[in-house]
Amino acid sequence: MTRTKKFLSRAGAAALMTLAAPLAFAQTTTSTTTPGVPDTGVGGDAITTMAVLGVSAIAAIAAAMYLSYRGALGQ
Amino acid sequence: MTRPHLRFFAAAVLLGLGCSVFAVTLVRATVYAPAEPEAPAPKGQGLSRTQFSEQPARLRIPSLGVDAHVQDVGIAKSGRMAVPSNYTDVGWYRYGPAPGSVGSAVLDGHIDNGFGLGGVFRRLGELRPGDEILLETAGGEELRFVVEEASVYEVADVPVDRIFNRNDAARLNLITCEGVWDGESRSYSERLVVYAVLR
């Protein structure tokens, strides 16, 4: 009797898991195919962008002036 | 290496570095939008689900003067919808339905570029219910959508299920940034979503 009860409870659990499997898969699929909100703006970085442009331009101009000065001196 | 030679070498390196940083920054701010790499396609999903002729090719919004090329985009590694690779195109979410099919086709586009100047969806907030959105497919068919609603949400409150998974009609949803810039998250605080339906 006890063995029969154990068998029935195990069979019941297995049946439940089998039935629940497609549901679990469906939930996983939904969560992976619905993306988060996109980042569609970068304008807030405008000041940083302009600062980087300014510093790199000044560095390049200073280096170019030094090289041309050296070239003019023939050194 | 003598001191003058060292100075010459340092100046040459500085010149090269300065020019490179300047050029890369300028191009990223005005031409190529910074974009996260895309994640692999989710299982069972892919561009092959949609026939090439049904894929969107061009978006026109006559009332805003928008006429943009459509790129197909997937999911970025962060899990967000990916964005187009420049500031003038729009991105179609390729794992969703094709525009014109029942379901929610989603397009995103930049509101501004790296200098804060207008991107393709700069004026999206001016759309009102009844305005027309035209979408041309790769097969040459022109689909006419009509705006039903435009809503602004805080980033945390954006109803992604409503935007991506509403299956009661052939829908087209446009999304862009809105609100104020948050320096910590390096993103805008809100999103503007325009909901349109096929007519």
Residue A39: inside a domain: no
Residue A43: inside a domain: no
B69 and B25 assigned to the same domain: no
Which structural domain range is residue A11 located in?
2-32+49-73
| 8 Å CB contact of B115 and A49 | yes
- Measured between CB atoms, which of A32, A43, A60 is closest to B113? A43
| 8 Å CB contact of A38 and B78 | no
Strand B187-198 to B103-108 pairing: unpaired
Name the pTM for this structure.
0.80
DSSP B16: H
When scoring B9, B87, B95, B112 by the number of chain A Cβ atoms within 10 A, the one with the most, hence best to mutate, is B112
Residue A63: inside a domain: yes
Q: Which residue shows structure tokens 């690779």?
A: B85
DSSP states of B69-110 as a string?
A: EEEEE-BBTTSBBP--SBSSSEEEETTSPPTTSSEEEEEE--
B107 and B128 assigned to the same domain: yes
B54 and B129 assigned to the same domain: yes
- Give A71's pLDDT tier (boundaries 50, 70, 90): confident
Residue A41: inside a domain: no
Which ipTM score applies to this complex? 0.84
B119 and B98 assigned to the same domain: yes
- Give B45's pLDDT tier (boundaries 50, 70, 90): low
Tell me the percentage of chain B whose pLDDT exceeds 70. 96
Helices B3-30 + A46-73 axis angle, to 10: 150
Closest residue in chain B to residue A58, using alpha carbons only: B18
Residue A27: inside a domain: yes
Mean of all residue pLDDT scores within chain B:
92
B100 and B159 assigned to the same domain: yes
B26 and B42 assigned to the same domain: no
Interfacial B residues in 164-193 facing A (CB < 8 Å)? 164-165, 175-177, 181-183, 186-188, 191
B103 and B16 assigned to the same domain: no
Which structural domain range is residue B103 located in?
36-198
Q: How many domains does chain A have?
A: 1
Is residue B150 within 8 Å of residue B81, measured between CB atoms?
Answer: no
B16 and B64 assigned to the same domain: no
pLDDT in tens, B128-183: 999 999 999 999 999 999 999 999 999 999 999 999 988 899 999 999 999 999 98
B126 and B96 assigned to the same domain: yes
When scoring A32, A33, A40 by the number of chain B Cβ atoms within 10 A, the one with the most, hence best to mutate, is A40
pLDDT in tens, B95-124: 999 999 999 999 999 999 999 999 999 999
Three-state secondary structure call for residue B113: coil
Q: Could you tell me which of B119, B7, B5 has the C-alpha nearest to residue B64?
A: B119
Q: In one letter, which amino acid is B17?
A: L
How many angstroms separate the CA atoms of B29 and A55, rounded?
A: 16
Instruction: Determine the length of chain A.
Output: 75
pLDDT in tens, A19-29: 444 443 333 33
B25 and B80 assigned to the same domain: no
Residue with the larger pLDDT of the pair B70 and A1: B70
| 8 Å CB contact of B158 and A37 | yes
B21 and B54 assigned to the same domain: no
Measure A11 CA to nearest chain B CA, in Å: 31
B100 and B162 assigned to the same domain: yes
When scoring A27, A37, A45 by the number of chain B Cβ atoms within 10 A, the one with the most, hence best to mutate, is A37
Q: How many domains does chain B have?
A: 2
